[in-house]
């Protein structure tokens, strides 16, 4: 049964030893000023402490439940090792309760298994990819995400990201086989404003509806165009199409093709 079938998700509370209290700042920095707009309120959450199979190499883990995680778009699954230790990991598409998976230097090409990039054949879908060996998965973790190995050289593999970006990754990094669960998330419709408020997202106001001192798009009589060559942010920066990546970033040399 696929994880996209909500009936397989457990309704029970998360395992106590694997959660912690999540304090939220409502978009304010350490001085109390709002640094990220449109945040605040929402339902209380507890943070699930996520693990990685590669922390326990050559050990088999068994999936004992599939759960919803309010802190991410993908689902998670609870796994148990032979010594009865429990851990949360990212759920993959098609996961079922009772599946057995493991991480090793090289293992079977099976969804959920984890191994080093140098041992994964080209063209195989992967997710939860490390950037530095031993660091834990950092890339391709959102709902429905899947990357592909395009080529390999002596020390790097060429990874195609879900965004279309192609970059070099150390071939000793670990990655999991398969695709991240909840592939229908992109088609989700929230239905009403209140559901966004439950998520801690406050309303945003159009710049055109403001006065000129509050937004570059503001002012004018009635319904007018913005009167500018291109849309701007409230602080006068380019709103659409402007580059936000830091110039001369250390990882630029690893990017073979930019995202679309």
Q: Is the domain of 87 the same as that of 146?
A: yes
Residue 200 forms part of a structural domain: no
Average pLDDT in the chain: 90
Residues 6 or more apart whose Cβ sits within 8 Å of residue 180: 74, 90, 91, 92, 93, 127, 128, 140, 141, 142, 143, 144, 145, 146
Calculate the alpha carbon distances from 83 to 48, 56, 59, 65 in Å: 21, 12, 10, 17
Q: Is the domain of 157 the same as that of 225?
A: no
Residue 39 forms part of a structural domain: yes
Phi, psi dihedrals of residue 174, rounded to the nearest 5°: -95, 150
Look at the chain and report how many structural domains it folds into. 2
Residue 191 forms part of a structural domain: no
Mean pLDDT, residues 226-247 taken together: 91
Whole-angstrom Cα distance, residue 28 to residue 36?
7
Contact in structure between 129 and 140 (CB atoms under 8 Å): yes
Residue 62 forms part of a structural domain: yes
Q: Is the domain of 60 the same as that of 179?
A: yes
Nearest partner of 87 among 64, 112, 110, judged by Cα: 64
Nearest partner of 36 among 239, 247, 244, 234, judged by Cα: 234
Q: Between the ranges 9-18, 201-210, 238-247, where is the mean pLDDT highest? A: 201-210
Per the structure, the complete domain to which residue 254 belongs is given by 205-260
3-state helix, strand, coil in the chain (%, to 5): 10, 30, 60
Q: Is the domain of 176 the same as that of 214?
A: no
pLDDT number for residue 7: 53
| Residue 111 pLDDT class (50, 70, 90 cuts) | very high
pLDDT number for residue 54: 85
Q: Percent of the chain scored above 70 by pLDDT? A: 96
Q: Is the domain of 52 the same as that of 151?
A: yes
Mean pLDDT, residues 104-119 taken together: 92
Residue 198 forms part of a structural domain: no
Half-sphere exposure of 225 (CA within 13 A, CB side): 5
Q: Is the domain of 180 the same as that of 210?
A: no
Q: What is the reported pTM?
A: 0.84
Residue 18 forms part of a structural domain: yes
pLDDT number for residue 1: 46
Q: Is the domain of 238 the same as that of 149?
A: no
Q: Is the domain of 156 the same as that of 210?
A: no
Q: Is the domain of 29 the same as that of 158?
A: yes
Q: Is the domain of 83 the same as that of 145?
A: yes
Half-sphere exposure of 22 (CA within 13 A, CB side): 15
Pairing of strands 156-160, 147-152: antiparallel
pLDDT number for residue 212: 93
Residue 235 forms part of a structural domain: yes
Q: Is the domain of 241 the same as that of 138?
A: no
Whole-angstrom Cα distance, residue 225 to residue 259?
31
Residue 121: CATH number of its domain: 2.40.50.140
Residues 6 or more apart whose Cβ sits within 8 Å of residue 113: 53, 101, 102, 103, 107, 176, 177
Q: Is the domain of 60 the same as that of 180?
A: yes
pLDDT number for residue 118: 92
């Amino acid at each position: 049964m696929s994880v996209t079938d909500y009936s397989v998700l457990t309704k029970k509370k998360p395992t106590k030893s694997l959660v912690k209290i999540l304090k939220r700042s409502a978009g304010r920095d350490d001085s109390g000023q709002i640094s990220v707009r449109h945040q605040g309120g929402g339902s209380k959450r507890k943070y699930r402490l996520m693990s990685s199979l590669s922390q326990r190499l050559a050990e088999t883990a068994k999936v004992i439940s599939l759960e919803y995680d309010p802190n991410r778009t993908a689902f998670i699954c609870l796994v148990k090792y032979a010594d009865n230790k429990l851990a949360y990991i990212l759920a993959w598409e098609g996961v079922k309760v009772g599946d057995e998976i493991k991480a090793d230097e090289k293992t079977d090409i099976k969804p959920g298994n984890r191994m080093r990039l140098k041992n994964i054949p080209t063209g195989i879908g992967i997710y939860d990819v490390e950037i530095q060996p031993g660091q834990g998965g950092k890339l391709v973790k959102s709902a429905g995400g899947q990357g592909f190995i395009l080529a390999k050289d002596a020390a790097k593999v060429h990874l195609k990201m879900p965004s279309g970006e192609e970059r070099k990754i150390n071939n000793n990094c670990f990655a999991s086989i398969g695709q991240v669960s909840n592939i229908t998330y992109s088609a989700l419709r929230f239905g009403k404003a209140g559901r966004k408020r439950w998520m801690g997202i406050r309303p945003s106001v159009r710049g055109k509806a403001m006065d000129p001192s509050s937004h570059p798009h503001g002012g004018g009589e009635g319904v007018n165009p913005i009167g500018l060559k291109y849309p701007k942010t409230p602080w006068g920066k380019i709103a659409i199409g402007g580059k936000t990546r830091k110039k001369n970033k250390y990882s630029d040399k690893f990017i073979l093709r930019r995202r679309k």
